[in-house]
Structure 1
Amino acid sequence: MRRDYLLRSLMFVPSHNRKLMESASRQNADVLLLDIEDSVQPLSNKKIARAMILEYLESGKFKGKTLFPRVNDRESGELLNDVLDLTVDGIEGFMYPKAKTGEDVYFFDKLLEIIEYQKGIEIGTFKIIPLIETSAAVLNVQDICKASARVIAIAYGSEDFITDLEGNHDIAHDSLQVPRAIIAMGARANDVIPIDTVHVRVHDLEDLEVNLKNSVNLGFEGMLVLNPKELPLVHQYYSPTDQDVLDAREMLTLAEEAANNGEGVAIKGGKFIGPPMIKAAKKILLKDLLIKSK
Structure 2
Amino acid sequence: MKTDFLMRSLMFVPAHNERLMNSAVKSNADVLLLDIEDSVLPKENKQVARDMIFKYVTNGIFKNRIIFPRVNDRESGELLKDVHQLTIDGIAGFMYPKSQKGEDVYFFGKLLETIEHEKNIPIGTFKIIPLIETAGAVMNIQEICMACPNRVIAVAFGCEDFVTDLGGQHDKEGKSLFTARNMIAMGARATGVVPIDTVHINVHDLEDLERNLIISKKLGYEGMMILNPKELALCHKYYSPSEEQVEWAEEILELAVEAQKEGKGVAIKGNKFIGPPMVKMAKDILAKNELIRMKNISF
- With the shorter chain as reference, the TM-score category is over 0.9
Distance 1:80 1:58 in 2: 20
* Superposed CA offset, 1:68-117 (max 9, x none): 00000010000000001100010000000000000000000000011111
Distance 2:43 2:221 in 1: 34
5 Å matches for 1:48-63?
Answer: 48-63=48-63
- With the length of structure 1 as denominator, give the TM-score of the two structures: 0.99
Q: Secondary structure at the match of 1:90?
A: coil
Match of 1:263 in 2: 264
Distance 1:211 1:92 in 2: 28
The residue identity in structure 2 corresponding to 1:185 is: M
Q: Does 1:178 align with 2:179?
A: yes
Match of 1:26 in 2: 26
Match of 2:135 in 1: 135
Distance 1:3 1:279 in 2: 16
Q: Does 1:125 align with 2:119?
A: no
Distance 1:228 1:197 in 2: 15
Gaps of 5+ in 1: none
Q: What is the RMSD of the two structures over their aligned residues, measured on CA atoms? A: 0.8
* Superposed CA offset, 1:33-74 (max 9, x none): 000000000100000000011111132211111000000001
Runs of 4+ in 1 over 3 A off after TM superposition: none
Q: Does 1:289 align with 2:290?
A: yes
Q: Is the 8 A contact 2:58 2:90 kept in 1?
A: no
Distance 1:67 1:264 in 2: 44
5 Å matches for 1:133-282?
Answer: 133-148=133-148, 149-282=150-283
Distance 1:18 1:39 in 2: 14
The residue identity in structure 2 corresponding to 1:80 is: L
Distance 2:228 2:270 in 1: 41
Instruction: Tell me by how many angstroms 1:269 deviates.
Output: 2.1
Q: Secondary structure at the match of 2:37?
A: coil
Instruction: Tell me by how many angstroms 1:224 deviates.
Output: 0.3
* Superposed CA offset, 1:247-286 (max 9, x none): 1010011111112112232111221111111110000010
Q: Secondary structure at the match of 1:4?
A: coil
The residue identity in structure 1 corresponding to 2:243 is: D
- With the length of structure 2 as denominator, give the TM-score of the two structures: 0.97
The residue identity in structure 1 corresponding to 2:4 is: D
The residue identity in structure 2 corresponding to 1:151 is: V
Q: Secondary structure at the match of 1:32?
A: strand
- Judge which range, 16-25 or 264-273, deviates more: 264-273
Q: Is the 8 A contact 2:131 2:157 kept in 1?
A: yes
Q: Is the 8 A contact 2:157 2:198 kept in 1?
A: yes
Q: Secondary structure at the match of 1:262?
A: coil
Distance 1:80 1:256 in 2: 51
Instruction: Tell me by how many angstroms 1:189 deviates.
Output: 0.4
* Superposed CA offset, 1:147-194 (max 9, x none): 002000000000010001110011111110000000000000000000
Distance 1:86 1:277 in 2: 41
Instruction: Tell me by how many angstroms 1:118 deviates.
Output: 0.6
The residue identity in structure 2 corresponding to 1:267 is: I
Q: Secondary structure at the match of 1:25?
A: helix
Of all paired residues, the percent bearing the same amino acid is: 65
Q: How many residues align?
A: 294
